[in-house]
A and B are shown apart, each in its own frame.
Chain A
Amino acid sequence: MSKISSGTDIYEWLGISEHASQEEIHRAYRQAARRLHPDVNVKAGATEQFLNIKEAYEILSDPDRRAAYDRKISPSQKSTQPVRIDIQYSREAIQRSTEQQLIYANIELQILSDPDQLDEPPPPLNVALVLDTSTSMKGARSEIVKATAIELIRQLRPQDTLSIVAFDDKADVALLAGSHINIRKAEARIHALRASGGTEIFKGLEAGFNEVLRNYRPSHTNHIILITDGHTYGDETACQHLADEAAQKDIGLSSLGIGGKWNDTLLDDLATRTGGDCIYVREPKDIHDLLTNKLTRLRKAYAERMRLDFQCGSGVSLIYAFRLNPEIGALPLESPIKLGSLSMGGRQQILLELIVNPLRPEIEKALLIDGSFSFEIPSRSARYQVPITLFRPVDENPQPETPSHPISKALSKLTLYRMQEKANEDISNGKFAEASIRLKNVATHLLAQGEPELAQTVLDEAKLIEQGQNLSEEGKKRIKYGTRALLLPAGNNQDNES
Chain B
Amino acid sequence: MILCPQCEHREYSGALFCSQCGAQLYESINTTAATTSADIKKALEISSPATPTFPSPPTDAADARAAIQLIDSGEVIFLRGEKEFTLGRSTEGQMVVPDIDLSPFDAYEAGVSRLHTSLTVRGNQVIAKDLGSANGTRLNDERISAHEEHIIRHGDVLSLGKLKIQILIRE
Contact = CB atoms under 8 A, between A and B. Distances in A.
A409 B105 CA distance: 10
A419 B18 CA distance: 10
Contacts of B27: 400, 402
A448 B40 contact: yes
Given A402-B104, A444-B40, A452-B49, A90 B74 contact: no
B26 A102 contact: no
Contacts of A490: 72
Interface string B1-40: 1000000000111111111111010111100000101011
Contacts, number: 92
B8 to A, nearest CB: 13
A405 B31 CA distance: 14
A422 B16 contact: no
Nearest to A57: B92
Contacts of A422: 19
A408 B14 CA distance: 12
Given A95-B13, A416-B22, A448 B43 contact: yes
Nearest to B30: A402
A102 B24 contact: no
B73 A419 contact: no
Interface residues on A, range: 35 or more
Given A444-B41, A448-B40, A450-B49, A415 B13 contact: no
B106 interface: yes
A403 B26 contact: yes
A99 interface: yes
B22 A445 contact: yes
B40 A407 contact: no
Nearest to A422: B19
B87 to A, nearest CB: 17
Contact of A402 (B29, B39, B72): B29
> Secondary structure of the B side of the interface?
loop
A433 to B, nearest CB: 13
Contacts of B1: 99
A444 B44 contact: yes
Contacts of A402: 26-29, 104
Contacts of A97: 13
A472 interface: no
B108 to A, nearest CB: 10
A171 B40 CA distance: 51
Contact of B22 (A90, A103, A355, A415): A415
Given A412-B17, A419-B19, A100 B12 contact: yes
A117 interface: no
Interface string A286-316: 0000000000000000000000000000000
B166 to A, nearest CB: 11
A68 interface: no
B14 A90 contact: yes
A418 interface: yes
Interface string A151-180: 000000000000000000000000000000
Given A403-B26, A445-B37, A452-B49, A104 B20 contact: no
A447 B49 CA distance: 7
Interface string A218-251: 0000000000000000000000000000000000
B17 A441 contact: no
Interface in A326-381: 355-356
Contacts of A403: 16, 26
Contacts of A416: 22
Contacts of A412: 17, 24, 73-74
A101 interface: yes
Interface in A436-456: 438, 441-445, 447-450, 452
A411 interface: yes
Contacts of B29: 402
A417 B54 CA distance: 28
A90 to B, nearest CB: 6
Contact of B74 (A95, A355, A449): A449
A103 B14 contact: yes
A61 B92 contact: yes
Given A402-B26, A402-B27, A448-B35, A409 B12 contact: no
Nearest to A410: B16
Contacts of B41: 444
Contacts of A408: 16, 26, 73
Interface string B96-117: 0000000011100000000000
Contacts of A405: 73, 104-106
A97 B13 CA distance: 10
A95 B39 CA distance: 31
Interface string A83-109: 000000011000101011111100000
Contact of B16 (A411, A419, A445, A450): A411
A450 B73 CA distance: 11
A415 B17 contact: yes
Interface in B24-78: 24, 26-29, 35, 37, 39-41, 43-44, 49, 71-74
Given A445-B40, A450-B49, A102 B15 contact: yes
9 contacts: A90-B16, A400-B27, A403-B16, A403-B26, A405-B106, A408-B16, A411-B16, A441-B22, A448-B35
Closest 5 CB pairs of A and B: A102-B14, A415-B17, A448-B40, A402-B29, A102-B12
Given A411-B16, A419-B22, A445-B22, 4 more contacts: A416-B22, A441-B37, A444-B41, A450-B49
